[in-house]
Amino acid sequence: MRAVDIIIKKRDKEQLSKAEIQYFIDGYSQGAIPDYQAAALAMAILLNGMTAAETTHLTLAMANSGDVLDLSGVVPIAVDKHSTGGVGDKTTLVVGPIVAACGLPVGKMSGRGLGFSGGTLDKLESIPGFRANLTTEEFLRQLKEIGIVVTGQSADLAPADGKLYALRDVTGTVQSIPLIASSVMSKKIASGAQAILLDVKVGNGAFMENLDDARKLAHLMVEIGKLAGRKTVALISNMNQPLGAAVGNALELKEAIETLQGGGPADFVEHCLVVASNMLVLGGILPNEDSGRKRAEEAMHNGQGLEYFRKMVQAQGGDVQYIDNPEQLPGAHLIEQVKAPHEGFIHGIHARIVGETVVMLGGGREKKGDVIDYGVGVLVHKKIGDWVEAEENIFTIYANDKEKLRLAHRLLLNALTWANEKVDPLPALFYGKIM
């Protein structure tokens, strides 16, 4: 077999066999197939798609590129959660510790930023010392001892996805249903949790912009999860404006800590409670969403969730004094308000433009291996449907470069659309559940 023939086959809209997919993924993860050929195949898949069978083969080949953990001997049941990516989506930082505090172990493999969408690992790494590259042994030990672990791909766990994910981030090949489904599910299968809650985002700040595509992605991932013998449920949630207020690594971490202290923006708190309650039901800890929500609310308000967050950070080498003093997390020396140019109702806050602005400020990667500036970002002070007076603050920009600050100001004004008449807030935070 030759990699180039596999690329040509997909370029010509043919279906790849299990053996061809396996050959390509093995070659790529072992370094025999170079990045440029993997980028070409990713683009061909993005343009020409894959069948459900091809996607399942790709998922399993990536999951099997490293260890596939079996957690049954470590904890009675572990739950995992994964978002398909959004803007301001710091949900894992809150629901992971809350669910663990409720007695359900959380073993999770997360990703880094991808295109305009932030990544949980980058957010956690804004805590000095935090390690996201645990070995399999460390992952298992921490899950058993503490009940919560969030790691990234390593040489041990789904390394093929780690490589491909970083490549897709910088080659315009993120927005593909088979590539997203296989990327998410290979991580979930490799990290071994028996129950998986997927949060499929839809809207202008998500990789799926319409509900039909989001449903297709959700069904495909649930199907793959079941084939792999995991209890899998997908929620479909709205991403037509940033979630919460903070977008940017350290800013989002601070907002997550605030939420674990019982504060936080209303939409984000609600989102976390729905996700956490579904995880608790899926993991069999509580019988229904109402009881799950009640228990999650308690853990959010009585400090138990925060305690689990602290334990996790400490176990993974992070300096916990930053949790007590989040103002000491990496910051920005240029802070500027973006004020409303006139009065009116906010009709839209284009989440993708906000995400791209944060990447441009240095909060994400434009090339593979780019170093992240954890301190930059944007606070979004308004929501769709809000009335705003002229000169009122709509955004706060955190920048470390004057030129980028000026550009961010312009981009953010362009992210807004206005109405003279009353605009309804977004109709729903969640559009449904697929099981």
- Return the residues of window 1-30 that contact ligand URA according to CB under 6 A: none
Q: Does 114 bind ligand URA (CB under 6 A)?
A: yes
Neighbour order of strands in the sheet with 344-349: 387-388, 344-349, 416-419
Residue with the closest Cβ to ligand URA? 183
Collect all residues with Cβ–Cβ distance below 8 Å to 212 and sequence separation of at least 6.
none
Does 81 qualify as catalytic in the annotation?
Answer: no
Contact 221, 232 (CB under 8 A): yes
Collect all residues with Cβ–Cβ distance below 8 Å to 170 and sequence separation of at least 6.
365, 366, 367, 368
Residues 277-316, mask of contacts with ligand URA (x by CB under 6 A): ----------------------------------------
Question: How far is residue 76's CA from residue 78's CA, in Å, rounded to a whole number?
Answer: 7
| Catalytic site residue from 161, 169, 199, 267 | 161
Q: Does 84 bind ligand URA (CB under 6 A)?
A: yes
Distance of closest approach, residue 306 Cβ to ligand URA, in angstroms? 26
Distance of closest approach, residue 235 Cβ to ligand URA, in angstroms? 15
Q: Does 184 bind ligand URA (CB under 6 A)?
A: yes
Does 409 qualify as catalytic in the annotation?
Answer: no
| Catalytic site residue from 183, 186, 237, 277 | 183
Does 168 qualify as catalytic in the annotation?
Answer: yes
Q: Quote the tokens at residue 53.
A: 């069978």
- The single-letter DSSP state of residue 347 is E
Candidates 290, 323, 329; CA nearest to 308 is: 323
Q: How many other CB atoms sit within 10 Å of the CB of residue 332?
A: 24
Does 82 qualify as catalytic in the annotation?
Answer: yes
Q: How many other CB atoms sit within 10 Å of the CB of residue 237?
A: 26
Beta bridge partners of 344: 388
Q: Does 111 bind ligand URA (CB under 6 A)?
A: yes
- With tokens 């809207």, the residue in question is 203
Per CB under 6 A, the segment of 36-44, 182-190, 300-308, 389-397 that binds ligand URA is 182-190
Does 271 qualify as catalytic in the annotation?
Answer: no
Per CB under 6 A, the segment of 177-185, 315-323, 346-354, 384-392 that binds ligand URA is 177-185
Q: Does 159 bind ligand URA (CB under 6 A)?
A: no
CB burial readout 112-133, b (16+ within 10 A) else e: bbbbbbbbbbbbbbbbeebebe
Interacting residues toward ligand URA by CB under 6 A: 84-85, 111, 114, 165, 179-180, 183-184, 187
Question: Which sequence positions are flagged as catalytic?
Answer: 82, 161, 168, 183, 187
